[in-house]
Protein backbone atom coordinates (compact mmCIF):
# COMPACT_ATOMS: atom_id res chain seq x y z
CA UNK A 1 0.00 0.00 0.00
CA UNK A 2 2.90 2.38 0.60
CA UNK A 3 3.42 2.40 -3.18
CA UNK A 4 -0.02 3.87 -3.79
CA UNK A 5 0.29 6.31 -0.91
CA UNK A 6 3.66 7.59 -2.13
CA UNK A 7 2.36 8.13 -5.65
CA UNK A 8 -0.74 9.92 -4.32
CA UNK A 9 1.48 12.08 -2.13
CA UNK A 10 3.83 12.90 -5.02
CA UNK A 11 0.92 13.89 -7.25
CA UNK A 12 -0.76 15.92 -4.48
CA UNK A 13 2.43 17.92 -4.07
CA UNK A 14 2.64 18.46 -7.82
CA UNK A 15 5.98 16.66 -8.04
CA UNK A 16 7.27 14.63 -10.94
CA UNK A 17 9.26 11.44 -10.46
CA UNK A 18 12.53 13.34 -10.90
CA UNK A 19 11.41 16.01 -8.43
CA UNK A 20 10.67 13.47 -5.71
CA UNK A 21 13.90 11.64 -6.46
CA UNK A 22 15.85 14.86 -5.94
CA UNK A 23 13.92 15.67 -2.78
CA UNK A 24 14.60 12.22 -1.32
CA UNK A 25 18.13 12.08 -2.73
CA UNK A 26 17.49 8.77 -4.50
CA UNK A 27 17.53 7.95 -8.20
CA UNK A 28 14.47 8.55 -10.35
CA UNK A 29 14.63 4.84 -11.17
CA UNK A 30 14.11 4.10 -7.46
CA UNK A 31 10.91 6.18 -7.45
CA UNK A 32 9.74 4.49 -10.66
CA UNK A 33 10.45 1.05 -9.17
CA UNK A 34 8.46 1.97 -6.05
CA UNK A 35 5.50 3.13 -8.12
CA UNK A 36 5.61 -0.05 -10.23
CA UNK A 37 5.32 -2.07 -7.03
CA UNK A 38 8.81 -3.47 -6.99
CA UNK A 39 10.29 -4.30 -3.61
CA UNK A 40 12.60 -1.68 -2.08
CA UNK A 41 14.69 -1.82 1.06
CA UNK A 42 12.81 -0.61 4.17
CA UNK A 43 15.47 2.09 4.69
CA UNK A 44 14.84 3.42 1.17
CA UNK A 45 11.08 3.51 1.77
CA UNK A 46 11.68 5.43 4.98
CA UNK A 47 13.88 7.98 3.16
CA UNK A 48 11.18 8.58 0.55
CA UNK A 49 8.40 8.76 3.13
CA UNK A 50 10.40 11.20 5.26
CA UNK A 51 11.05 13.44 2.25
CA UNK A 52 7.33 13.51 1.46
CA UNK A 53 6.44 14.26 5.08
CA UNK A 54 8.95 17.11 5.18
CA UNK A 55 7.34 18.46 2.00
CA UNK A 56 3.96 18.60 3.78
CA UNK A 57 2.34 15.18 3.41
CA UNK A 58 0.60 13.38 6.24
CA UNK A 59 0.23 9.63 5.78
CA UNK A 60 -3.05 8.28 7.15
CA UNK A 61 -3.26 4.68 8.33
CA UNK A 62 -6.24 2.45 7.70
CA UNK A 63 -9.17 3.70 9.74
CA UNK A 64 -7.94 7.28 9.97
CA UNK A 65 -9.57 8.41 6.73
CA UNK A 66 -13.30 9.08 6.40
CA UNK A 67 -13.74 6.04 4.14
CA UNK A 68 -11.59 3.86 6.39
CA UNK A 69 -8.73 2.98 4.04
CA UNK A 70 -5.16 4.26 4.15
CA UNK A 71 -4.36 7.49 2.33
CA UNK A 72 -2.55 10.80 2.38
CA UNK A 73 -3.41 14.42 2.93
CA UNK A 74 -1.51 17.67 2.82
CA UNK A 75 -0.62 19.44 6.02
CA UNK A 76 -2.58 22.65 6.51
CA UNK A 77 -0.41 25.66 7.11
Q: In the chain, what are the domain boundaries?
A: 2-74
Q: Which CATH class is domain 2-74?
A: mainly alpha
User: Is the pLDDT assigned to residue 65 strictly greater than 60?
Assistant: no
Which one is predicted more confidently, 36 or 74?
A: 36
5-26 pLDDT, tens digit per residue, is 889 899 999 999 999 999 999 9
Burial of 14 (0-12, 13-18, 19+ CB in 10 A): exposed
Half-sphere exposure of 45 (CA within 13 A, CB side): 14
Least-confidence region, from 3-7, 43-47, 61-65: 61-65
Amino acid sequence: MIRVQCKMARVALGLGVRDLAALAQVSSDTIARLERGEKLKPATLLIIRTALEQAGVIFEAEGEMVDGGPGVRLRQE
